[in-house]
A and B are shown apart, each in its own frame.
Chain A
Amino acid sequence: MFQQISLGLAEAERARDAILAALTAADSPIALAIADEHGVPILLMRQDGAPARMLSRARSKAYTAANLGLDTVVFRDQHVKAKQRTLDDWGDPMLTTLQGGLAIKTNARVVGGIALSGNSTIRDEALAKVGLEAMGLAE
């Protein structure tokens, strides 16, 4: 037997509230996905006016970050581009290299993934970071 640590709904809701509070009038409506360490959603949210594809992207980003234990931009630059691979090499249709998905780690373990879509991918990632920090997990 072993015990697995996983993100809980309480942390996900803290992240949700922090992200909603951080949005400005310049932001487009966002989609947010927070997943456990297997990439299974804990909280999905799409603001009024955000197209449905934004949430599917956010889901894929959160799944990718959680499943691989990598921020999606690191996955893109170091694991795909730098080694001249394509996403097909992983054989998992849920994986994406779009920026904006962050792995959630505590005590050197991956416990989940958080991702946004709706704005520029750089802004998506910045907002995901706001959520990550609001979870208040130990390093």
Chain B
Amino acid sequence: MIQQLSIGLADARIAVAAALNGARANETPLAVAVVDGHGQMVYLVRRDGAAAIDVRAAERKAYTAAYIGRDTSMWRLQITHDGRTVADWANPNLTTIHGGWTLRRAGQVIGGIGVSGSGNEDRDEQLALKGAEAAAQLAVDAWRQTRDPRRIRDRSEVRA
């Protein structure tokens, strides 16, 4: 038997909110998706005015980041370097459009986040990163809670 970690709804909602709140008020509305480690949707929000294609693109970016285990921009660099195309994976849900980040915890892929709608794939990527960072911060917070603060303060653990 194996135990697999997966992002839950509570963390997914925090990540989506962080990506949405990262955008300035004068930017175009976004769609943001968070999927689990298998690439299956956990939470998606489309802001008023974001287009249908943004829902599709956000979902595909998040799916790719989780399924491949690479951020979509990094994956494009890698397959371009290797002389391959997305079609080599024979999976129509994959994309190399920037804006998908892999979410990890304890060395495992626990999900992916995808953003679309800013009108620029690199801006989408920046905004998705804000969501990914919020998810990573949750991991740090959870880890801190498992530690006894006194032991960390006197560093007895480190010396031992």
Spell out A's residues near B (CB within 8 Å): 8-10, 38, 40-48, 52, 55
Tell me the nearest residue of chain B to A55, going by C-beta: B41
Given A40-B52, A46-B9, A47-B9, verify A52-B46 contact (CB < 8 Å): no
Query: In the assembly, what is the distance between CA of A4 and CA of B144, in Å?
Result: 50
Tell me the nearest residue of chain B to A38, going by C-beta: B52
Q: Are the CB atoms of B48 and A9 closer together than 8 Å? A: yes
Q: Does B44 contact A (CB under 8 A)?
A: yes
**Docked complex: B1-59 residues within 8 A CB-CB of A:** 8-9, 33, 36, 38, 40-48, 52, 55
Given A46-B41, A52-B38, verify A9-B46 contact (CB < 8 Å): yes
CB-based closest 6 A-B pairs? A52-B40, A44-B44, A40-B52, A48-B8, A8-B48, A42-B46
Q: Are the CB atoms of B9 and A48 closer together than 8 Å? A: yes
17 contacts between A and B (CB under 8 A): A8-B48, A9-B46, A10-B48, A40-B55, A42-B45, A43-B44, A43-B45, A44-B41, A45-B9, A45-B44, A46-B40, A46-B43, A48-B9, A52-B36, A52-B38, A55-B40, A55-B41
Given A8-B48, A9-B48, A52-B38, verify A45-B43 contact (CB < 8 Å): yes
Given A48-B8, A48-B9, verify A41-B46 contact (CB < 8 Å): yes
Classify chain B's interface size: 10 to 19
Q: Are the CB atoms of A52 and B48 closer together than 8 Å? A: no
Q: Are the CB atoms of A9 and B40 closer together than 8 Å? A: no
Q: How far is the CB of B123 from chain A (nearest CB, A)?
A: 20
Q: How far is the CB of A49 from chain B (nearest CB, A)?
A: 9
Q: How far is the CB of A40 from chain B (nearest CB, A)?
A: 4
**Docked complex: B117-132 residues within 8 A CB-CB of A:** none
Query: In the assembly, what is the distance between CA of A42 and CA of B52, in Å?
Result: 9
Residues of A within 8 A of B44 (CB): 41, 43-45
Q: How far is the CB of B102 from chain A (nearest CB, A)?
A: 18
Tell me the nearest residue of chain B to A48, going by C-beta: B8
Residues of B within 8 A of A55 (CB): 40-41
Residues of B within 8 A of A45 (CB): 9, 42-44
Query: In the assembly, what is the distance between CA of A44 and CA of B34, in Å?
Result: 10
Q: How far is the CB of A124 from chain B (nearest CB, A)?
A: 18
Query: In the assembly, what is the distance between CA of A47 and CA of B42, in Å?
Result: 7
Residues of A within 8 A of B48 (CB): 8-10
Q: Are the CB atoms of B47 and A9 closer together than 8 Å? A: yes
Residues of B within 8 A of A52 (CB): 36, 38, 40-41
Query: In the assembly, what is the distance between CA of A42 and CA of B51, in Å?
Result: 10
Q: What is the 8 Å Cβ interface bit string for chain B, positions 50-80, against chain A (1 contact, 0 not)?
A: 0010010000000000000000000000000
